[in-house]
């Protein structure tokens, strides 16, 4: 056994696939989420399929005050972590967020503040141990603000910047930080959304994430071609971009 990977937001489709990819490589798992029954079902399935230990626990990304005790509970159950994956997130509705502060706050907290609260705790432990890896699932939406999802995009963009700083801080301690920027992935989050193209499967994304960790990558656009799509999008001059309906 290679140690335990904590999966935060384990019931997400991408998280499930990532958990399976790590389990198939011999890592134990700690699946954390809000729906304990679902977590227990997933844990039983992964443990049988891959013959690795799988523990579960409840957390809420927005319950900041409970995060220190939650991380203690994880380490008590599974030992110091080999890795942590932040997979939880919330797309929300941009058109609602414009008028509804609660929706705006939910988008920011579920994509950014909650992740920072939990990763601060994990990062300090890994830095002290001098080993471990951190995976943060950001988004291509964080590379440029667009009218259709700029609240979500700004939270993901802030998260990517946080991960970049964390990578810079933790590199001397031997702790690796991977920023994942998926394009469109076929999950509950994107189900029924208009304008989707080049949609990837969660399984493909999960496998790429585990492989990128093995290879010590810093930033992963997944599928790979999104790096070039975003390169073009980020280079469109603002005076033109602001007139586009994106
Ligand atoms: N799908 C895409 O096209 C796409 C593209 C780019 C980036 N991403 C990112 O990839 C990650 C996984 O996305 P997905 O598409 O697999 O999403 P998903 O299936 O909609 O899952 C979202 C996950 O976030 C969890 N979550 C939401 N609020 C939470 C909270 N307050 N506390 C704890 N957990 C919470 C949900 O838990 P519950 O089941 O309890 O609600 C669920 O497990 C997300 O960060 C997403 O932003 C997705």
Q: Which of 12, 105, 142 to mutate to test the pocket of ligand 1 (most atoms within 8 A of CB)?
A: 12
Q: In what order do the strands lie in the sheet with 176-182?
A: 54-58, 28-33, 4-8, 83-86, 133-137, 176-182, 219-222
Structure tokens that stand for 91 in this block: 């797309």
The residues spanned by each domain of the chain are 4-241
Q: What is the pLDDT of residues 76-126, one digit of tens each?
A: 999 999 999 999 999 999 999 999 999 999 999 999 999 999 999 999 999
CA of 172 to the centre of ligand 1 (A): 31
28: Cβ below 6 Å to ligand 1? no
Nearest CA to 2 among 74, 57, 52, 72?
Answer: 52
- Ligand 1 atom nearest 14 alpha carbon: 16
User: Of 27, 152, 162, 221, which residue is the catalytic one?
Assistant: 152
pLDDT tier at 195 (50, 70, 90 boundaries)? Answer: confident
CA of 186 to the centre of ligand 1 (A): 12
Structure tokens that stand for 215 in this block: 């290879």
92: Cβ below 6 Å to ligand 1? no
Q: Are the C-beta atoms of 223 and 207 separated by less than 8 Å?
A: no
CA of 239 to the centre of ligand 1 (A): 33
Question: Does the annotation count 228 as an active-site position?
Answer: no
CA distance 177 to 220: 11
Structure tokens that stand for 243 in this block: 């007139």
87: Cβ below 6 Å to ligand 1? yes
Structure confidence at residue 74 (pLDDT):
98
CA distance 109 to 114: 5
Average pLDDT over residues 238-244: 96
CA of 11 to the centre of ligand 1 (A): 8
221-228 contacts: CB < 8 A, separation 24 or more? 221/140, 221/181, 221/183, 222/180, 222/181, 222/182, 222/183, 223/183, 223/198, 225/183, 225/198, 226/140, 226/181, 226/182, 226/183
Half-sphere exposure at residue 120, Cβ-oriented, CA atoms within 13 angstroms: 8
- Ligand 1 atom nearest 106 alpha carbon: 31
State the DSSP code for 199: P
For the segment(s) 4-241, the CATH number from 3.40.710.10, 1.10.10.10, 3.40.50.720, 3.60.10.10 is: 3.40.50.720
CA angle, residues 159, 149, 120, in degrees to nearest 5: 15
Contacts of 95 (CB under 8 A, 6+ apart): none
Torsion angle of alpha carbons 107, 71, 22, 136, nearest 10°?
30
106: Cβ below 6 Å to ligand 1? no
- Ligand 1 atom nearest 88 alpha carbon: 24
Q: What is the pLDDT of residues 167-188, one digit of tens each?
A: 999 999 999 999 999 999 988 8
Q: What is the pLDDT of residues 44-76, one digit of tens each?
A: 999 999 999 999 999 999 999 999 999 999 999
């Amino acid at each position: 056994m290679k140690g335990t990977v904590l999966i935060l937001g384990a019931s997400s489709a991408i998280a499930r696939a990532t958990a399976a990819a790590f389990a198939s490589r011999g890592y134990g798992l700690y699946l954390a989420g809000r729906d304990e029954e679902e977590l227990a079902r997933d844990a039983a399935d992964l443990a049988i399929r891959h013959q690795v230990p799988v523990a579960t626990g409840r957390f809420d990304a927005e319950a900041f005050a409970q995060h220190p005790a939650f991380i203690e509970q994880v380490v008590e159950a599974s030992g110091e972590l080999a890795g942590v994956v932040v997979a939880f997130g919330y797309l929300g509705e941009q058109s609602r967020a414009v008028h509804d502060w609660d929706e705006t706050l939910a988008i920011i907290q579920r994509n950014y503040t909650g992740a920072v609260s939990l990763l601060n705790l994990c990062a300090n432990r890994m830095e002290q141990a001098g080993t471990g890896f951190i995976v943060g699932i950001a988004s291509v939406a964080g590379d440029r603000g667009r009218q259709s999802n700029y609240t979500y995009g700004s939270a993901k963009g802030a998260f990517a910047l946080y991960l970049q700083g964390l990578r810079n801080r933790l590199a001397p301690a031997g702790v690796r930080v991977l920023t994942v920027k998926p394009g469109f992935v076929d999950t509950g989050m994107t189900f029924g959304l208009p304008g989707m193209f080049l949609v990837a499967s969660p399984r493909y994304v999960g496998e790429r994430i585990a492989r990128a960790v093995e290879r010590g990558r810093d930033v992963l656009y997944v599928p790979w071609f999104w790096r070039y799509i975003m390169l073009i999008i980020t280079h469109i001059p603002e005076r033109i971009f602001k007139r586009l309906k994106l």
